Amino acid sequence: MPKIVVFAGTAEGRQIAEFLDRHGIGARVCVATEYGESLLPAGGRLTVSHERLDEMQMETLFADGCDFVVDATHPYAAAVTENIRRACEKTRTEYIRLLRESEGWEDSEVITVDSVAAAAEALCGTKGNILATTGSKELKAYTVIPDYEQRVFARVLSLPDVVRSCGELGFVGQHLICMQGPFSRELNVAMMRQYDIRYLVTKESGKNGGFPEKLSAAREAGAKLVVVGRPLREEGYTLSRCKRLLLERLAITPRQKISLVGIGPGGEGTMTGDAERTIREAELLIGAQRMTDATAVPGQEVFHAYRPDEIKACIDGHPECEKVAVALSGDVGFFSGAKKLLEVLGPEVEILPGISSMVCFCAKLGIPWEDVRPYSVHGKEENLVGRIKCHPKVFAILGTADGVAGLCEKLHKYGMDEVHLTVGERLTYPYEKITQGYPRDFLDLKTDPLCVVYLENPAAAGRVVTHGMSDDRFLRDKAPMTKEEVRTVSVAKLQLRADSVVYDVGAGTGSVSVEIALAVPGGQVYAVEKKPAAVELLRRNKIHFGVDNLTVIEGPAPEALEDLPVPTHAFIGGSSGNLREIVALLLKKNPAIRIVVNAITLETVEETLRVMREFPVTDTEVVSLSVARSREAGAYHMMMGQNPVYIFTFSGEAQP
């Protein structure tokens, strides 16, 4: 096993040491203080020492069969870095420099100096309180500032030796703040306001050192930031690149924990505790930019992606990241990308639920969501009008700025003006907006793309759920129509599913098309008719019944069927002598299709039987249906027979 020495004077250095320990790799870890030693895991494969080494002692250590050295000392510990580098050169030991990433800034309110002494000198001629965050070892430099005991507040580690040395310099009482960092922006701001700080002195310590939080806090608190620049301009590896190098050099098999995290609607405070902790601890955060902007923390690798293949490629390309979080909007089980991601990433992925937009919205409206039907039209087709016709309460994710206006235009066209809408934009964000009204109120509305809608349809409560509508409900004119009883049996013989794609060939008035469209609101119906007068009647019945999932196709069959989506079912009410060609095309498009044919004339019966013998079909059935209806004749009722109808049913042999 290779012999490794790690100088772990920073948080990154401790992470490298812990990384090696978790993978069963032993290492000699050198830290600067007893406190630093206490932060590392005990009882593992690490040998930890806080003994300070000079260059000669380093040479002796490296000469004892050391394979390589990882220098993760503080970027301001220039003398130590030089000693390590020279000792490696003399012993011909490989030297790996782990660099804390530098943070760039452009701010006229930032004063840049070369040293803490220069910072103190620059502050001598100023007025106002100073917060010094440059460490206890260089605190003496601030004593040149007039009235420093009253002006300077020193933030240092809470160690007995540190407190004692600071007290000897005159930093006591409230002017000595003993805390372990890094600190959040909010805590920095609160501290600066508490002590009326006008100047904040810091080293350019990068993300892990909390520099971005200090920069933003100074701006918010109205203080100037005094930045001590790094003493050396070095070349080396970032933390993630160093881990990857160790994986390759030591032939370590990556061990990654991948979590799919629902972050809720996205506003502040809408994540669960588990979600916040998982994202905070993640080394790699992946998600759409809106999600990562709302959740990323300093020190993370952040990758913007939402497609499953891109996300998997990113995870595979960062084997050094042991904790990976994929941030998903709302709840991972509610119209989320989690389903497709699991297919790509495998079952060993951790799933952390979030607060869905529906739950959030209904809670804001003060209504229960147990009987609300949720749907999404964001990036996919959905017969939302059909869903609203069927259910008294519907929630929908729209996802586009014109989604509400487009939906209301359809509701208005189909005569559904009694539907009440509540529109929610940017839920939980500072500019959240909730608006209520009816379709006519939203015809020209442009919303934020982060938009949802809750709809109440009082007409849906008493809706009949079985098919078999009365003939007099249809607009008829002179077009032929499949009568109620025949239509009821024929539709039943189709054995439709909720998402069926159905052709109605020779649709006539569209009575069968409408019945099917109402029965399968999650499916699609194509009504094919060649006669212009019947086509116009079809369109009128579509609007009359509000069946948005019905598409009228004008033209003769089978030609008009060529470019339509693959069907799961077909009803043939009229074939104009082309039954064989129509069935041939249907079986070609879907060898497992289920077909129902209505025949009145004996010639059509003969043609259908011949087709059933010629093609590879199964589950064949023929039903002869004779219907008689009563008619009043004075004080009496007479049964009047209608034309008998033959109902043929068969399926392609390639059954699923």
pLDDT of residue 104: 55
Q: How far apart are CA 654 and CA 588, in angstroms?
A: 11
pLDDT of residue 508: 92
Interval 348-360: pLDDT, tens = 899 999 999 999 9
Give the model's confidence band at 103: pLDDT under 50 very low, under 70 low, under 90 confident, else very high: low
Domains 110-228 and 471-652 share a fold: yes
Does the 254-355 domain belong in CATH 3.30.1330.60? no
What's the whole-number average pLDDT of the chain? 90
**Residues 237-250: what's their mean pLDDT?**
88
Q: What is the DSSP letter of 379?
A: T
**Does this model's pTM top 0.85?**
no
110-228: CATH class: alpha beta
pLDDT of residue 44: 82
CATH topology of domain 4-97: Rossmann fold (3.40.50)
Domain range 471-652, CATH architecture: 3-Layer(aba) Sandwich (3.40)
**Residues 484-507: what's their mean pLDDT?**
94
Give the model's confidence band at 241: pLDDT under 50 very low, under 70 low, under 90 confident, else very high: confident
Would you say residue 450 has pLDDT above 90? no
Please state, as a whole number, how many other Cβ atoms lie within 10 Å of the Cβ of residue 88. Answer: 21
Print burial letters for 184-193: b (CB count within 10 Å at least 16), e (below 16): ebeebbebbe
Would you say residue 1 has pLDDT above 80? no
Give the model's confidence band at 128: pLDDT under 50 very low, under 70 low, under 90 confident, else very high: very high
Question: Which range among 156-160, 296-300, 508-512, 580-584 shows the weakest confidence by mean pLDDT?
Answer: 296-300
pLDDT of residue 541: 94
Does the 358-460 domain belong in CATH 3.30.950.10? yes
Would you say residue 5 has pLDDT above 90? yes
> Beta 129-132 vs 420-425: how paired, if at all?
unpaired
Interval 586-631: pLDDT, tens = 999 999 999 999 999 999 999 999 999 999 999 999 999 999 888 8
Q: What angle do CA 578, 580, 582 make, to 5 degrees?
A: 65
**Residues 289-301: what's their mean pLDDT?**
85
Domain ranges for the chain: 4-97, 110-228, 254-355, 358-460, 471-652
Q: How far apart are CA 183 and CA 213, in angstroms?
A: 7
Interval 130-147: pLDDT, tens = 999 988 888 999 999 999
Give the model's confidence band at 286: pLDDT under 50 very low, under 70 low, under 90 confident, else very high: very high
Q: List, in sequence order, every beta strand (DSSP E) within 269-392.
A: 284-287, 301-304, 323-328, 350-352, 373-376
pLDDT of residue 656: 55
pLDDT of residue 562: 95
